[in-house]
Structure 1
Amino acid sequence: MYFFCTQMIDAKASGIEHAMMKRLKVFQANNQVAVILTRDYNRAYHRNLSINGLRDEQTINMFDYFQEAVQENVKNIVDPNKLIVPKDSLEIRKTGSWLYSLGDCLRMKITFFKEQHQRIETVSMFDSFGHEVQRDRYDVRGFLSLRETLDFDGNVANETMFTPTGKIVYQSYYRRTPDGNVINSLLRLVNYRGNDYYFDNLDELLRFFFDEINNNADGNNVFISDRSYIVEAGLVNMVTPRKMLCYAHNVVTTVPDKPLDSPLFDQVKFELASPKVDGMILQTKAQLDDLRKVSKSKKLMMVIPSAVLDDRELKGTNVPMKKRPKHQLITVARIHEQKHLEHTILAFALIKAKLTDATLSIYGFVNDEQLNDELKKLVADKGLTDSVFFHNYIVDLSTAYQNASLFLGTSRYEGYGMAMVEALSYGIPIISYDIKYGPADIVQNGANGFLIRPNDYRGLARKAIHLLQNPEVLQLFSNKAKRSAQRYSINHSWQAWKKGLATLRDKQEIQ
């Protein structure tokens, strides 16, 4: 079996998690048993899976596993009307919350999930001074999941987790250190398979979880670390036999545009040195070559791009440019300094000066609120408020892609560029900075788009204007974009994985 390991799958999944979900399709389409493993506790986890098109059997969350709650539906949906409330209390039912008071003192408060008004979110208990002393957190599926006891300062002192049937399965305790920090001092699995287990930290519990999963699947499985800084400690300390690969979703050196003259990240140094790590996966040959040169490492390395397109994307109709809204540009990038969206906006300002009906849509969740404000101010200062639209995060971008004429990419660095590949599948030519790494593998310069010297937003704007002012050329580029997307089919991706996994097996046999 294959296990893809990450922190969490949120409602607004990041590029790394999208890459994992695409990979899951590749493996399952080729009759390989693969599962995504996640670490963090999240009461809305199963709703998030549904939002992202995942089924429950395709993932296992660590806390779900120990809570015996890996299934989507549970029988024990708690009815808020049947909760035990303070006797003789004054009840006030508001939209989203119910309050219970004795005299002037609030004693109990029930809140509800916004999306499901009859599902309890939290139940809080208060002392006579108005301090919250206990907080029950309910899973979105309808059962009491976590009870928190709070200390004098309102910090969590201990936690208790329950199964959907109400059995206690996990407890954790917190203490204040001499320097004033609150730390998790003990984690305890309660009566797990007839025994109690004690752990000093989350990494130890995660290691135990991975070993349990490995044993349940008869051992010697392949674990792929997708968020190494989160899951690596658990993986490298496993005691059961397994193989471990680390997937590099982004750059591996501290100065991205100078990979041969800058240090490797400490995490990458560890992965290259550790005998517990069987190999590394890079997304481009250029990155692999640079890593070999700077590290001198003989660690097993393979090239497998994260970008994958399914049949729906590859076989969809390429909407002719003349049927799309005229001069509509798009970029898909989270609001983060890496994406260098200032240059996207500055380039668009030059395009707008030539083509007054041009618009720019920016899709991506906000990582940096201050930067988001600065970008919107830049838009306003350039007089582009009616032409540049920030759409935040949207799961399904198919309509946005079908309406776009060009994709602009101004990132400072990338691991690859999944959004660019998606754009190709909708016949959108790409104009991108030629950065480390990805665009040079995706963009066929002068055919399906243009590669521009990094930071040359004026040059990027000139190429965009040229294509937009020449509809026949733009359509030719669109046709080539659609054809070039075939390189990212599930079958092409599986061939790369099959080659890499065969190399891993050969390495193990030699040892």
Structure 2
Amino acid sequence: MYFFVNERVAEQGSGIEHAQVQRGLLFRKNEVSFKIVTRTYTQTGHRDILAWNINDAELINLFDYYAQTEYVPEHPVHAQDVDWGGRTPAILEPDEKNPEVTMVWEDNEKTKFMGRIHTDAKHDNIVTFTEVFEHFGNLYKVDFYDTRGFVSKTQYIDPDGTPNTNVYLDRDGRPVIEEFLRKKPLRTSEINLRRRKFFEAEGQRKANAELNGTEFKEGKFEAPKEETFVTGYRLIKPNGFTYMIDSFDELTKTFLDDLNNDFFSEKTPNVFISDRTSAAGDGMVNMSQPAYKALHLHNLHASDTRDVMTTDANNNYEYDLINNNRFNAIISATNKQRRDVNKRYKSNATGFTIPVGVVPQAIRDLDRVPMNERDPHSVLMIVRRAPDKRINAVTEALMIANREHPGLNAHLDVYGYFDGSNNNQTNRDLLKLFEDFKLDKPTMLDDQDKPTDDITKARRLESDVVTLHNYITDRDELYRIHRSHQVYALASIMEGFNISMMEAMANGEPAISTDVNYGPNDLIIHGKNGYLTRWAPQGQENLFVKEMADRFYEVFSSDKKLQDLSDQAYDLSKRFYEETVWDAWKALIDDANKQWPELYKQHYDLPRYGVAYKGEMDTQYQMGQRANEVTWRGPKSVKYFKRN
């Protein structure tokens, strides 16, 4: 089995999630079984994967795994369906202040309050969680509902309102994981850190008030006396054994070990690919049983793109790169990064170049769209709307081009999920640009798409030169957006590849980007399918924005050049066609199979028996019990491991 290890796969994912899903669809097409492995508890995981065209058989979550809820038919729960544990509600009525909350009383006089039911109006008003009150009117537990229609987590509350335990449940309500919470007094150093953060936030609030033209009211720092933290876990495995575990990372290691045991095979290796190192880390490096382990570098491996050989490692990869010899493979998205990593670390792991993006057949089947049939002088970015993507630099370049060439009227559309890093820095930088260029202030919209003058509530911006749009999940709509624009732009602080740029080129958009390692300067062949401008660190964008502005004018002022660039963008995208990328994956698959006989010799046999549910002896959870599982045909092809 091929395991792609991550934290979670949300409905709105980042580049890593896009890379995992594109890889998974490629594996499915070539009839190779895989599972995206996640460790974060989420109520919506099985609904979220539908937006990615991933099915239940291709996802395995830590909490689902131990609760045996990987494959559960969907039976949504609504307010009237909530089970109150033997108590019978007399009155259910909507909360006047919040239509997504239902108030529940046990008697018609409304003297015995039972609790509140919270629902999701965007998804047929299904229940998301309930707050349960005891007879004396105190909140004592909160039940969280999986979107498939069962309580998957219960949080118990102390009389003072402090959570004390999170209990994760199977469908029958039996605990499988208990997470213990306790309060502790804060040390002086912790209080000082919070004081510093408080005053930093105060400074940002003051700046926002000045920008919004509102009065600033200074807050008062009050030192918290205690904080809640996790003290440990109790894990009850399906064979009945109970384990006390110190940390979530140790729980993750146990999970990865159990996965490896469950899918273990003498014939073929389990291949674990660490896509998000925070989710794998120590657990993958220190597996108890042998497996073929690959580190996938989705981003720059160093802390500074100007010096990838001697600067500190990217902190996301530091632990894994220190332990690089404990991996069997290190995967880079570009040849340039693979060579740099090999040269710097001289690892015993085999280096592979495998693009993280794949041009799907769905794009290739579309007719080419000529430049004169697209929105004139239109520029597109599909990025996280965060400071490190430097949307403000691309916007400034367009403002310069429009100012120096009246009538150009170039416009930038930015699609992606909102990231309020550094107190909405992206929005604040853009508003400052409009002020500097003496342009009308853009319209700001909140999360309900209603106009707002408060920058702290702004989630979108609309103007003649730049528009910030919401995240797009529909792939067909995303391709339509690509094919209505003429140029794709980028000015990131760092990159590892850039799937959106690859898809832009496959849809005929040439790209203009700073010369950043790695990805853009590999995807763009300067002068053929786009242009590279000088790169500069954050805060020194003035070193490249004028050059970028000139490039925008150059391509928009020549219909022939723009069309030639588009033709080359289409043609050069063949590098990332499915069959080409699959050939790269086959090289890794062949290496894993070649190494497996020697790796297999390192395994040891697990104890065959354990005390199972109701005290019976159980052989169901032996090594290799799921070794023959096939996922690419979907859930119907998978044997369900569930007790009657």
Cα shift readout 1:422-479 (whole Å, capped 9, x = no counterpart): 0011100111111111122111111111111114111111111111111122111111
The secondary structure found in structure 1 opposite 2:552 is: helix
User: Bigger shift: 349-358 or 277-286?
Assistant: 349-358
Residue 572 of structure 2 corresponds to residue 484 of structure 1? yes
Corresponding residue number in structure 1 for 2:304: 255
> Of the candidates 508, 513, 532, which is equivalent to residue 451 of structure 1?
532
Q: Distance in 1 between matches of 2:140 and 2:263?
A: 42
Corresponding residue number in structure 2 for 1:202: 248
Which residues in structure 2 correspond to 1:48-447 (within 5 Å)? Answer: 48-71=48-71, 73-74=73-74, 77=77, 80-81=80-81, 83-84=83-84, 91-94=92-95, 95-101=99-105, 106-126=113-133, 132-179=139-186, 180-190=226-236, 192-219=238-265, 220-265=269-314, 268-274=317-323, 275-353=325-403, 354=405, 355-367=407-419, 368=421, 370-378=424-432, 380-381=434-435, 382=437, 383=439, 385=442, 386-387=463-464, 388-395=466-473, 396=475, 397-447=478-528
The 8 Å contact of residues 221 and 243 in structure 1, kept in 2 or not, is answered as yes
- Cα deviation for residue 489 of structure 1 reads 0.9
Q: Distance in 2 between matches of 1:358 and 1:129?
A: 65
Q: 1:131 to 1:465 in 2, by over 3 A?
A: farther
Q: Distance in 2 between matches of 1:261 and 1:236?
A: 24
The 8 Å contact of residues 468 and 474 in structure 1, kept in 2 or not, is answered as yes
- Cα deviation for residue 186 of structure 1 reads 2.8
Corresponding residue number in structure 2 for 1:469: 557
Question: In structure 2, what residue type is equivalent to 1:446?
Answer: G
Cα shift readout 1:272-293 (whole Å, capped 9, x = no counterpart): 4435322211122222222233
Percent identity, aligned pairs only? 25
Structure 2: runs of 5+ lacking an equivalent: 187-225, 443-462, 537-543, 600-644
- Cα deviation for residue 507 of structure 1 reads 5.4
Q: Distance in 2 between matches of 1:195 and 1:399?
A: 53
The 8 Å contact of residues 303 and 315 in structure 2, kept in 1 or not, is answered as no
Q: Distance in 1 between matches of 2:76 and 2:534?
A: 59
Q: Distance in 2 between matches of 1:144 and 1:113?
A: 15
- Cα deviation for residue 401 of structure 1 reads 0.4
How many residues in Structure 1 have an aligned counterpart in Structure 2?
511
Q: Distance in 1 between matches of 2:76 and 2:304?
A: 52
Q: Distance in 2 between matches of 1:268 and 1:318?
A: 40
Q: Distance in 2 between matches of 1:298 and 1:237?
A: 17
Q: 1:263 to 1:351 in 2, by over 3 A?
A: same
The 8 Å contact of residues 244 and 278 in structure 1, kept in 2 or not, is answered as yes
Q: TM-score normalised to the size of structure 1?
A: 0.93
User: Bigger shift: 497-506 or 34-43?
Assistant: 497-506
The 8 Å contact of residues 327 and 359 in structure 1, kept in 2 or not, is answered as yes
Question: In structure 2, what residue type is equivalent to 1:433?
Answer: T
Cα shift readout 1:400-425 (whole Å, capped 9, x = no counterpart): 10110111111121001111100011
User: Bigger shift: 37-46 or 27-36?
Assistant: 27-36
Q: Distance in 1 between matches of 2:91 and 2:595?
A: 70
Question: In structure 1, what residue type is equivalent to 2:298?
Answer: H
The 8 Å contact of residues 74 and 164 in structure 1, kept in 2 or not, is answered as no
Q: Which has the larger radius of gyration?
A: 2
Cα shift readout 1:5-30 (whole Å, capped 9, x = no counterpart): 00000010111011001111222222
Q: 1:352 to 1:234 in 2, by over 3 A?
A: same
The 8 Å contact of residues 357 and 576 in structure 2, kept in 1 or not, is answered as yes
- Cα deviation for residue 53 of structure 1 reads 1.8
Cα shift readout 1:241-296 (whole Å, capped 9, x = no counterpart): 21111111011112222212312245645324435322211122222222233334
- Cα deviation for residue 160 of structure 1 reads 1.9
Higher relative contact order structure (alpha carbons within 8 Å, sequence separation ≥ 6):
2
Residue 71 of structure 2 corresponds to residue 21 of structure 1? no
User: Bigger shift: 14-23 or 374-383?
Assistant: 374-383
Q: Distance in 2 between matches of 1:176 and 1:444?
A: 57
The 8 Å contact of residues 145 and 163 in structure 1, kept in 2 or not, is answered as yes
The secondary structure found in structure 2 opposite 1:318 is: coil
The secondary structure found in structure 1 opposite 2:122 is: coil
Q: 1:491 to 1:390 in 2, by over 3 A?
A: same
Corresponding residue number in structure 1 for 2:585: 497
Residue 9 of structure 2 corresponds to residue 9 of structure 1? yes
Q: Distance in 2 between matches of 1:25 and 1:175?
A: 43
Corresponding residue number in structure 1 for 2:198: none
Q: 1:503 to 1:90 in 2, by over 3 A?
A: closer
Structure 1: runs of 5+ lacking an equivalent: none
- Cα deviation for residue 199 of structure 1 reads 1.8
Question: In structure 2, what residue type is equivalent to 1:359?
Answer: H
Q: Distance in 2 between matches of 1:348 and 1:459?
A: 11
The 8 Å contact of residues 330 and 408 in structure 1, kept in 2 or not, is answered as yes
The secondary structure found in structure 2 opposite 1:192 is: coil
Q: Distance in 1 between matches of 2:160 and 2:402?
A: 55
Q: Distance in 2 between matches of 1:71 and 1:340?
A: 42
The secondary structure found in structure 2 opposite 1:115 is: helix
Q: TM-score normalised to the size of structure 2?
A: 0.74
Q: Distance in 2 between matches of 1:3 and 1:67?
A: 19
Question: In structure 2, what residue type is equivalent to 1:472?
Answer: K
Q: 1:480 to 1:267 in 2, by over 3 A?
A: closer
Corresponding residue number in structure 1 for 2:217: none
Q: 1:164 to 1:497 in 2, by over 3 A?
A: same
The 8 Å contact of residues 332 and 362 in structure 1, kept in 2 or not, is answered as yes
The 8 Å contact of residues 7 and 39 in structure 1, kept in 2 or not, is answered as yes
The secondary structure found in structure 1 opposite 2:116 is: strand
User: Bigger shift: 457-466 or 199-208?
Assistant: 199-208
Cα shift readout 1:304-351 (whole Å, capped 9, x = no counterpart): 121111111123111111111211111111122321222111111123
The 8 Å contact of residues 340 and 411 in structure 1, kept in 2 or not, is answered as yes
Q: Distance in 2 between matches of 1:272 and 1:509?
A: 26
The 8 Å contact of residues 314 and 485 in structure 1, kept in 2 or not, is answered as no
Q: Distance in 1 between matches of 2:500 and 2:316?
A: 26
Q: Distance in 1 between matches of 2:586 and 2:516?
A: 28
Q: Distance in 2 between matches of 1:169 and 1:264?
A: 38
User: Bigger shift: 418-427 or 45-54?
Assistant: 45-54
The 8 Å contact of residues 259 and 290 in structure 1, kept in 2 or not, is answered as yes
Q: Distance in 2 between matches of 1:251 and 1:153?
A: 47
